[in-house]
Amino acid sequence: MSWEANVRKVTPYVAGEQPKGQGVIKLNTNESPYPPAPGVARVLREYDAAMLRKYPDSETEPLRSELAAYYGVEREQVFVGVGSDDVLAMAFLTFFNHPSLPVLFPDITYSFYDVWAELFRIPYQVQALDEQFHIKEEDYRKPNGGVIIPNPNAPTGELAPVSMFERILRANPDVVVIVDEAYIDFGGESCLKLIDQYENLLVVRTFSKSRALAGIRIGYAFGSKKLIRYLQDAKYSFNSYTMNSITLTAGVEAVRDDSYFREITDKVIATRERSKKELAALGFSFTDSKSNFIFAAHEKYRAKELFDALRAHHIYVRHWDKPRIENYLRISIGTDAEMNTLFAFLKEYIGA
Ligand SMILES: *Cc1c(COP(=O)(O)O)cnc(C)c1O
């Protein structure tokens, strides 16, 4: 028993279910319903396995330069990691180091933030969203050890304006402010334009949602050269070869195919807007999501009941048994056909 006293004990993040088998409609982890860019499949088909003999590029090339060129920044302003979860974990470790002041983030947000804070023993304090699930800007003006806010927020889908982040940045010159833009490609305005002006801003993105590559694990971040250098120093002190060479090559193809990227994000946005109308007609209310999911509550039916009924019909959505959001379902946007199956089931169940 005694050795257990010296173990770092953590309560891990719980991801959405990954049900196996055919005929499942999976609207529970915000994956893309479309395949990745065709160039990705070509790279995987043609990859020369003999290349795996060598270590991958420790500077995450060629993906880093491709991202820099696409987004019009310098390569020294880009960091690449194994999914944005890796980028965010590394950023928590690197930037949230105040011995006593807490890191601030919303009470309703990505449920990995408190897990990393606990893992790295970083003090934190959650800030309550208002009744409409909007961020209360003034909450981020108190003394703190860092700030992290997703935009759009998850699981609410609410988008905050860049001007709000600018004011938060101006109020917090002594700490790092992280904007987690996992869903920014679905119609939001990015804080990327602020990185030259605010040396302490880190903008984190992922290939998992808008680029349809959750399975390959690519995340990236933009910031000042100084900020990115600190992040790399921490990463190289942990594992300098986390990105494998197949992923680095495949990721480039996803970035290059801009027309495909626009096509699939536009389709998701169109289906999302249509889904809002369908859900409203069925008696749901929801936030004005600018992401690839809708966070909805029904006027009569409890979320848990609907969650169970849907699951029994092999339609998976996400539900959290947490204060303030226990009556909401987070429904990822699927294909039009998948959404129609969902609406048909709900229509029958609710009798609308
Ligand atoms: C999905 C998600 C991530 C993590 O994505 P990766 O698959 O690790 O790139 C990070 N932040 C938010 C808010 C997310 O929803």
Same structural domain, 218 and 323: no
Same structural domain, 311 and 278: yes
Same structural domain, 308 and 211: no
pLDDT at 16: 83
Q: Do the domain assignments include residue 10?
A: no
178 in Cβ contact with 202 (< 8 Å)? yes
Helices 83-95, 225-236: crossing angle, 10 deg rounding: 100
Q: Supply the CATH number for residue 315's domain.
A: 3.90.1150.10
| CA dihedral for 57, 63, 64, 65, sign (positive or negative) | positive
Domain's final residue, options 210, 239, 256: 256
Distance 179 CA to ligand 1 centre (A): 12
Please choose from 86, 110, 213 the residue to mutate so as to test ligand 1's pocket, defined by most ligand atoms within 8 A of CB.
Answer: 110
pTM: 0.97
Number of structural domains the chain divides into? 2
Same structural domain, 158 and 273: no
Q: Does the C-beta of 224 come closer than 6 Å to ligand 1?
A: no
Q: Do the domain assignments include residue 264?
A: yes
Same structural domain, 154 and 71: yes
Q: Print the domain residue range for 30.
A: 15-36+259-350
- The model's pLDDT over 239-291, given as tens digits with 9 standing for 90+, comes to 888 899 999 999 999 999 999 999 999 999 999 999 999 999 999 999 999 99
Q: Do the domain assignments include residue 180?
A: yes
- The model's pLDDT over 182-219, given as tens digits with 9 standing for 90+, comes to 999 999 999 999 999 999 999 999 999 999 999 999 99
pLDDT at 240: 83
pLDDT at 56: 95
Same structural domain, 32 and 42: no
Domain's final residue, options 209, 237, 256: 256
Alpha helices of 58-111 — where are they, by DSSP H?
Answer: 63-71, 83-95
Could you give the angle at the alpha carbon of 81 between the alpha carbons of 79 and 86, nearest 5°?
120
Distance CA 295, CA 275 (A): 11
Point out the ligand 1 atom lying closest to the alpha carbon of residue 155. Answer: 15
Domain's final residue, options 206, 236, 256: 256
Residues with pLDDT less than 70, the chain:
352
Same structural domain, 241 and 165: yes
Distance 168 CA to ligand 1 centre (A): 22
Same structural domain, 42 and 30: no
pLDDT at 352: 65
pLDDT at 17: 84
pLDDT at 131: 95
Q: Does the C-beta of 180 come closer than 6 Å to ligand 1?
A: yes
Q: Do the domain assignments include residue 3?
A: no
Residue nearest to atom 2 of ligand 1 (CA): 182
Distance 108 CA to ligand 1 centre (A): 15
Strand partners, 177: 147, 201
Distance CA 334, CA 56 (A): 35
Q: Do the domain assignments include residue 8?
A: no
